[in-house]
Amino acid sequence: MPFRFADPAVQPITIEVVSDSSWSEVEKTLSAPQRAFARLLDFAPKPGRHCILPPGEGQSARVLFGVAETSDRSYDPMLPGRLAVVLPSGAYRFGADTPDLDLATLSWALTSYRFTRYKKAPNDLAQLCAAEGVDQRRVLRIVEAVSFGRDLINTPACDMGPEALAAAATGLAERYGAKAAVIQGDALAAGFPLIDAVGRAGHQPPRLVDMVWGRADAPKVTLVGKGVTFDTGGLNIKPESGMLIMKKDMGGGATALALAQMVMDAGLDLRLRVILPIVENSISAPSFRPGDVIRSRKGTTVEIGNTDAEGRLILADALALGGEDKPDLLIDFATLTGAARVALGPDLPPFFTEDDELASTLQRHGQIVRDPVWRLPLWSPMIPCSTARSRM
């Protein structure tokens, strides 16, 4: 369900975002009954607390919402987004003094996301009017792209197999005038043997999508996204608990497409390339086996130690392709290992790079936009040489 700002003509209720230091001044602007009501409900401007004040004595209804001081380490500019799911039906607007107004608006919009492919969303959700000064186009660009990626990930494999994921990619390319090629069959087996080996047991054949957008002499940025539409683990089959949410194993591909949509919609001056190796790691007679030795696109031989290490195999071929035209920046996205989640938890994405300057830039900008990432070490002896063994 796409997010849309509410019509401001409906006279929205103002949301006052307050902290300990601003509460006394905000309290003075309330009518006497409103102040009494807030005290009766024991409202205090603590992070996450809210209070709906009724109209009275010439004052319209208002919502109070507590946040930490912006100087505190615990301050979360995205916290106001929770109001999207706790406020009753109606139209609301953040007050002009809301700190990080664009982020508060973005957080509301992202929290409003509902996956509606199989059932309708409630029609009584709270709505948000854009406050003056909010960059509505930028907010909608981010929200629409993120929602596109979320929809892809949330769709089960019965409706989001290799054909559907490739169609989503080519549909995006058509929307923005990009060129997209889909490689499959004999051409895939000849040029991308690891992708073919992993996906050949699936009900739908494997494929690789190669999309290009932007002027040819612009800086080259290549995005590679892991597109395993379902991962049984192959012959090294996963346990029931490990297979339960494996529809999300194409999350790297969905993320690459979402980012590509943002880039193209913003009209950035880039030569953008998106490469998606798309497979289902299934089990049937043609399944690749532990002990098999497969020669990759790069020419390196890979001995299969575990068929549940399929992601690094398909990415190896895709990254080899991505590096052939020597892009200025190459990024791959993958749901590759749960160890990163164990190390950093669910809210802090890790990344690896050998480039110290790039790492510093990514972390700095992550802090600026309040979307932090954390660098994990890429120790040089871990980087494979001429022969690599695929492992869990």
Per-residue pLDDT tens digits for 120-159: 888 888 999 999 999 999 999 999 999 999 999 999 999 9
Known catalytic residue: 119?
no
Q: Where are the domains of the chain?
A: 8-134, 143-336
pLDDT tens digits, 256-314: 999 999 999 999 999 999 999 999 999 999 999 999 999 999 999 999 999 999 999 99
Residue 387 reports pLDDT greater than 60: no
What pLDDT does 10 receive? 86
Neighbour-count burial of 124, counting CB atoms closer than 10 A to its CB (0-12 exposed, 13-18 middle, 19+ buried): exposed
Looking at 39-43, 159-163, 250-254, 377-381, which range is the least confident one?
Answer: 377-381
pLDDT band, residue 388 (cuts 50/70/90): very low
Annotated catalytic residue: which of 82, 150, 238, 341? Answer: 238
Query: Is position 238 annotated as part of the catalytic site?
Result: yes
CATH for 143-336 is 3.40.630.10
pTM of the predicted model as reported, rounded to 2 decimal places: 0.94
pLDDT above 90 (res 336): no
Q: At what angle do helices 251-266 and 136-154 cross, to 10 degrees?
A: 160
Residue-level pLDDT at 386: 38
pLDDT digits 0-9 by tens, 43-86 = 999 999 999 999 977 788 999 999 999 999 999 999 999 999 99
Among residues of the chain, what percentage have pLDDT more than 90? 89
* pLDDT exceeds 90 at position 5: yes
pLDDT confidence of residue 57: 76
- Contact present, 199 and 253 (Cβ < 8 Å): no
Q: What is the mean pLDDT of the chain?
A: 94
CATH number for 8-134: choose from 3.30.1360.120, 3.30.1490.20, 3.40.220.10, 1.10.260.40: 3.40.220.10
List the catalytic residue out of 62, 271, 273, 312.
Answer: 312
pLDDT at 325 over 60: yes
Per-residue CA distances from 325 to 170, 192, 273 (Å): 21, 16, 10
